[in-house]
């Protein structure tokens, strides 16, 4: 059992709910009972993103090496933490952890609260006695450097079903009690999600060979104005919730109760997978925290249309009486796409959220901060204004800007999570930040605002009001002029997180290889380099910047090209598949990162010796 020497000693204070004597007690949702105000020193230690120079690596779990076709929370997670520790890194950023839906994107999840069960380790299930050696006899020949979801899903689900059957037969009363406690503490989202997932699977199986039934033809007629024939087929045969029988789609209590009883085994199976995911995740997080490494999580501002979140709370979204969105999310034409990006997420009914005091959102943030140390919120600009696209449009071009909740939303977060700061205690401000700004920062909210894209003065003003750190991306810095705000000499304060690139960018090597002459020349002249080692050139520049935190995608640490790109916005297929080889992160790579971390004061105190900057390992 991993334990953190600095963790609070009582279960009331222990928000990670790890005990030293037995299995973890789960439920990030137990944070609904947690008092964030007037924190003890122990709480303060784990919920404050205190200003300090540090660096970390962006590596999603799916990218880990391993024999089961996709990275998981098993043995390599510990190996990766050991690498981070050796390198002197104090941050590890992951992508959203939810169960992925169509297209395998972590930003389109069936639930904003649930975990991705495909990340559960078969090896750990074996160690717990839920799988036998013969269950591993026919492992497919998975590709080494990409996730093959089409083969991974049936392979892992077969193992998981066997594990659940073994779990149900397990006589260990302690495990059963922990599972029951997990279900109780997470009831506010788990019951809806488990039934949602079970229903989807049921209707997918039922419709697979049914053909064009009367039900299908009705659904097609209702949607032909908005969707192509192929999309209609994907939605119906993929069992999007608004294609279910009307009483069930509308969550009539009698229908919900009857189906929950009818699918009881599958509902229990889904809950078991969530229990195992959070059990394994909490152990990984505890191990990272023990190594003095903070986990940066990520949540998209919007949730997927086909999610338990929308099905369970339709009044919080702009939907019509039949459960179809009236307008959907996206972004206008930009750097990534000349047609803009049509995400398709339903838009929030912000007035409805405001009437509840943003209760749903507060629960969402509370849950997320229960499983990570720092939270990056994607598309921060959407809280000021968001791009609303009429449902049925084929591109994002014909959308328009609508006002978001703005300061009122962040004031609500402060009321829910903020600390009782003494009147004689100054706010915690970054160097150069005004005394009038920083409400969220002074309150200790460990949140990073992803403020990329079309950023207006109003968006800048909102981030200044919150005091949250924004993002700088070096791939956006070149090819324009010396006033580019992503160029480090233009950073007005330290309150930012700098990236060589993000999951939406090409790798550093791929980007440089595809850059135009003017852009690549600008890079070489600005950095005074040849460009032969452009990934390390950008890493050095990020570490040298005044940004408090520097994050480097693992592809840039390894030095990979465009073949390792994680996502290409606006392109539907071929994304989210990248995996790296087990021998890629060598001690020599760690030494290079530690050297630069020492040069630019980004190491923890345990590394701050004269040896840390004595010689260039290259």
Query: What are the C-alpha distances in Å from 346 to residues 192, 306, 358, 359?
Result: 19, 9, 17, 18
Quote the tokens at residue 441.
């920062």
| β partners of residue 346 | 328
Cα distances (angstroms) measured from residue 195 to each of 83, 115, 275, 338:
40, 15, 15, 40
Alpha helices in 208-263 (DSSP H): 214-223, 229-237, 246-249, 253-262
Catalytic residue (one of 451, 504, 506, 537)? 504
Q: The sheet that has 327-331: what strands, in order across it?
A: 341-346, 327-331, 385-390, 400-403
> Could you confirm whether 408 is annotated as catalytic?
no
Q: Are 257 and 161 in contact (CB under 8 A)?
A: no
Angle at which helix 359-369 crosses helix 407-417, to 10 degrees, equals 60
User: Which structure tokens are listed for 503?
Assistant: 């999951």
Helix (H) or strand (E) holding 526: helix 517-527
Q: Which of 378, 451, 506, 556 is catalytic?
A: 378
- Which residue among 123, 146, 309, 450 is the active-site one? 450
Cβ neighbours for 277, distance < 8 A, ≥ 6 positions apart: 73, 114, 115, 116, 117, 119, 120
- Bridge partner list, 329: 388
Q: What's 348's DSSP letter?
A: B
Query: For residues 460 and 453, what is the distance between their CA atoms, to the nearest angstrom?
Result: 12
- Is there a contact between 92 and 293 (Cβ–Cβ < 8 Å)? yes
Cα(249)–Cα(240) distance, rounded to whole angstroms?
A: 10
Q: Is 521 a catalytic residue?
A: no
378 catalytic, yes or no? yes
Taking phi over 0 as left and psi of -120 to 50 as alpha, with beta for the rest, 438 belongs to: left
Q: Write the burial class of residue 524 (CB in 10 Å: 0-12 exposed, 13-18 middle, 19+ buried).
A: middle
385's enclosing H/E stretch is strand 385-390
CA 357 to chain CA centroid, nearest Å: 24
- 442: which 2 tokens? 């002074």
**3-state SS assignment for residue 574:** coil
d(CA 247, CA 231): 24
Q: Count how many residues are written for the chain.
A: 618
- What positions carry a catalytic annotation? 378, 450, 504
């Amino acid at each position: 059992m991993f334990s953190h020497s600095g963790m609070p000693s009582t279960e009331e204070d222990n928000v990670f709910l790890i005990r030293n004597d037995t299995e973890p007690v789960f439920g990030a949702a137990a944070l609904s009972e947690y008092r964030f105000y007037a924190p003890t020193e122990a709480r303060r230690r784990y919920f404050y993103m205190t200003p300090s120079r540090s660096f970390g690596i962006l590596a999603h779990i799916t990218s880990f090496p391993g024999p089961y076709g996709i990275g998981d929370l098993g043995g390599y997670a510990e190996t990766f933490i050991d690498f981070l520790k050796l390198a002197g890194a104090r941050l590890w950023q992951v992508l959203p952890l939810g169960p992925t839906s169509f297209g395998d994107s972590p930003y389109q999840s069936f639930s904003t609260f649930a975990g991705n069960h495909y990340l559960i380790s078969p090896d750990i299930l074996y160690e717990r006695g839920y799988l036998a050696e013969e269950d591993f006899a026919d492992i497919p020949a998975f590709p080494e450097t990409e996730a093959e979801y089409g083969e991974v899903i049936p392979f892992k689900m077969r193992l998981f079903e066997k594990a659940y059957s073994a779990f149900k037969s397990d006589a260990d009363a302690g495990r059963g009690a922990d599972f029951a406690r997990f279900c109780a503490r997470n009831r506010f989202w788990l019951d809806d999600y488990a039934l949602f997932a079970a229903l989807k699977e049921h209707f997918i199986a039922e419709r697979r060979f049914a053909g064009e039934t009367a039900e299908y033809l009705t659904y097609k007629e209702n949607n032909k104005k908005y969707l192509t024939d192929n999309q209609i087929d994907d939605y119906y045969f993929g069992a999007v919730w608004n294609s279910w029988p009307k009483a069930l789609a509308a969550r009539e209590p009698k229908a919900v109760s009857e189906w929950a009883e009818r699918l009881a085994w599958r509902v229990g199976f889904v809950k078991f997978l969530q229990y195992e995911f959070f059990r394994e995740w909490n152990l990984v997080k505890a191990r990272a925290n023990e190594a003095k490494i903070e986990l940066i999580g990520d949540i998209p501002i919007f949730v997927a249309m086909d999610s338990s979140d929308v099905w369970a709370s339709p009044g919080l979204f702009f939907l019509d009486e039949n459960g179809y969105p009236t307008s959907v999310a996206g972004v206008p034409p930009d750097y990534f796409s000349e047609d803009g990006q049509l995400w398709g997420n339903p838009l929030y009914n912000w007035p409805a959220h405001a009437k509840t005091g943003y209760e749903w959102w507060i629960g969402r943030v509370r849950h997320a901060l229960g499983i990570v140390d720092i939270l990056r919120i994607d598309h921060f600009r959407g809280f000021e204004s968001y791009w609303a696209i009429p449902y049925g449009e084929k591109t994002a071009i014909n959308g328009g800007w609508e006002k978001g909740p703005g300061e009122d939303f962040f004031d609500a977060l402060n009321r829910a999570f903020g600390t009782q700061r003494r009147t004689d205690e100054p706010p915690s401000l970054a160097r150069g930040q005004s005394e009038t700004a920083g409400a969220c920062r002074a309150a200790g909210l460990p949140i990073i605002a992803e403020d990329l894209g079309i950023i207006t003065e109003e968006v800048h003003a909102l981030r200044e009001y919150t005091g949250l750190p924004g993002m700088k991306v070096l791939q956006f810095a070149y090819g324009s002029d010396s006033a580019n705000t992503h160029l480090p000499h233009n950073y007005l304060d330290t309150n930012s997180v700098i990236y060589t690139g993000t999951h939406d960018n090409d790798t550093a090597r791929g980007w440089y290889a595809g850059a135009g002459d003017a852009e690549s020349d600008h890079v070489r002249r600005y950095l005074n380099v040849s460009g032969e080692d452009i990934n390390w050139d950008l890493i050095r520049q990020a570490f040298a910047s005044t940004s408090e935190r520097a994050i480097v995608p693992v592809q840039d640490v390894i030095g990979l090209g465009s073949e390792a790109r994680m996502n290409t916005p606006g392109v539907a297929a071929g994304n989210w598949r990248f995996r790296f080889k087990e021998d890629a992160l060598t001690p020599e790579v760690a030494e290079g990162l530690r050297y630069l971390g020492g040069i630019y004061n980004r190491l923890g105190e345990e590394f701050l010796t004269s040896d840390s900057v004595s010689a260039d390992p290259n």
